[in-house]
Amino acid sequence: MVSSKDVARAAGVSQATVSRVLNNPESVRPVKRNKVLEAIQQLNYEPNLIARSLVTNNTRTIAFISGSMRNNFFIDTMDSIINLAKDRGYRTMIFFDGNESLKDIWSTVKGHMVDGVILSLVSMDDPVLEDIMNSGIPHMFLSRRPRFGGNYIEIDNRLAGELIASHVVELGHRRIALLSGELQYSTFLGRKEGIDKVMAEAGLPLEAGLVHYINTATLSEIEKVVWKMMQFNEPPTAIICTSDAMAIACMDVLLGMGLSIPGDVSISGIDDSKLAAHQSFQLTTVGHKIFEIGEIAVENLLEMIGHKEIDKKRQIVLRPELMIRRTTARHVE
């Protein structure tokens, strides 16, 4: 691999001068500068960003710890994060949970000396959160956040739950099922609280057999669970899913069983991912423009990286809206 030393030799200057041509071209006289530029062309030289990072102590890279691409929420946020970061001159490294713990991912992220991190996949009480918040590495939690503290952006999950539950209740449904994510995640806890509140007020507390907690990383239980529920003497007439991804998986199962949506059963999600709006789904859901969530996360992160208002607490809660589409309908006996 050709290095700046090779360029220096070819151009008859010192390595320092080559470095200057790269980082501060005006500081070197045109004659030499051109010689260097020629040599760079000639040798097809590309600066070693690794070595550069070592000395500058910044990588112009941010990390995004994301959930699986099987979930369109993460696709949408990832897309907006990568694109905005790129516009701002930053590269994004993507990390998935897989089966490693957050602790292991965090080790790797720290090792990569990224300038900042966006985390989308933390449970509320993970012991490593303390480390993360004290690490001095700028961070934004996106959607899922610690129980206490941290910089985060999320939608008002409680409200989201209330909006969707009210909608379903108002449509006259009484046997309502809930497919929830695991409650160690702030997102799903908040959503469920909102739903519980509305259901209680409506005098329709959720029945045990109709509430299921799904592993949102794999969604693997959904098929079995939905299939089973629909075999009941009185199957649910509506299934509230606390994410679009679950709703879409759920629809796949129901349609596969030959049921019609919303004829036989109403389905709803939460997130308002891009896919939910597709004419083939027209999923009723609640959310806030997803791309905006990702962008706000990046904007704030870059502010912190740039030391702007460094100690301002960044805890942003967006107000979600109900998107009534075509997977929910009035219940008729």
Partner DNA sequence: ACCATTTTTGAATACGTATTCAAAATAATT
Partner DNA sequence: AATTATTTTGAATACGTATTCAAAAATGGT
Q: Please give the residue ranges that form the binding site for a second copy (CB under 8 A).
A: 44, 46-51, 53-54, 59, 68-70, 75, 78-79, 82-83, 86, 91-94, 96, 98, 107-108, 110-113, 131, 248, 251-252, 254-256, 278-281
Q: For the CB of residue 13, give the shortest distance to DNA in the complex, in Å.
A: 4
Residue 279 site contact among a second copy, DNA, none (CB < 5 to 8 Å, cut-off depends on kind): a second copy
Q: For the CB of residue 43, give the shortest distance to DNA in the complex, in Å.
A: 11
CA distances from 162 to 66, 70, 112, 188, 210 (A): 26, 26, 41, 13, 18
| Number of helical (H) and strand (E) elements in the chain, helices listed first | 12, 12
Q: For the CB of residue 54, give the shortest distance to DNA in the complex, in Å.
A: 4
Alpha-carbon distance 53 to 47, whole Å? 11
Residue 201 site contact among a second copy, DNA, none (CB < 5 to 8 Å, cut-off depends on kind): none
Is position 1 an interface residue for DNA (rule: CB under 7 A)? Answer: yes
Q: For the CB of residue 306, give the shortest distance to DNA in the complex, in Å.
A: 16
Tokens of 11: 């151009």
Alpha-carbon distance 143 to 273, whole Å? 13
Helix axis angle for 4-11 and 30-43, nearest 10°, is 120
Site stretch for DNA (CB under 7 A), options 3-11, 79-87, 268-276, 310-318: 3-11
Residue 16 site contact among DNA, a second copy, none (CB < 5 to 8 Å, cut-off depends on kind): DNA
Among 10, 37, 44, 47, binds DNA (CB under 7 A): 47
Q: For the CB of residue 104, give the shortest distance to DNA in the complex, in Å.
A: 17
The count of residues in the chain is: 333
- Of 31 and 332, the one with the shorter C-beta distance to DNA is 31
Strand partners, 284: 268
Residue 59 site contact among a second copy, DNA, none (CB < 5 to 8 Å, cut-off depends on kind): a second copy
- Among 180, 156, 187, smallest CA distance to 247 is for 180
Judged by CB under 7 A, the chain residues 71 through 110 that form the site for DNA are none
Is position 305 an interface residue for DNA (rule: CB under 7 A)? Answer: no
Q: What is the CA 29 to chain-centroid distance, rounded? A: 48
Alpha-carbon distance 91 to 68, whole Å? 20
Strands 266-268 and 285-287: unpaired
Q: For the CB of residue 284, give the shortest distance to a second copy in the complex, in Å.
A: 14
Among 51, 69, 200, 255, binds DNA (CB under 7 A): 51
Q: For the CB of residue 37, give the shortest distance to a second copy in the complex, in Å.
A: 15
83 exposure class (CB count in 10 Å sphere: 0-12, 13-18, 19+):
middle
Tokens of 174: 């009484």
Alpha-carbon distance 255 to 253, whole Å? 6
> Which residues contact DNA (rule: CB under 7 A)?
1, 3-5, 12-20, 22-23, 26-29, 31-33, 47-48, 51-52, 54-57
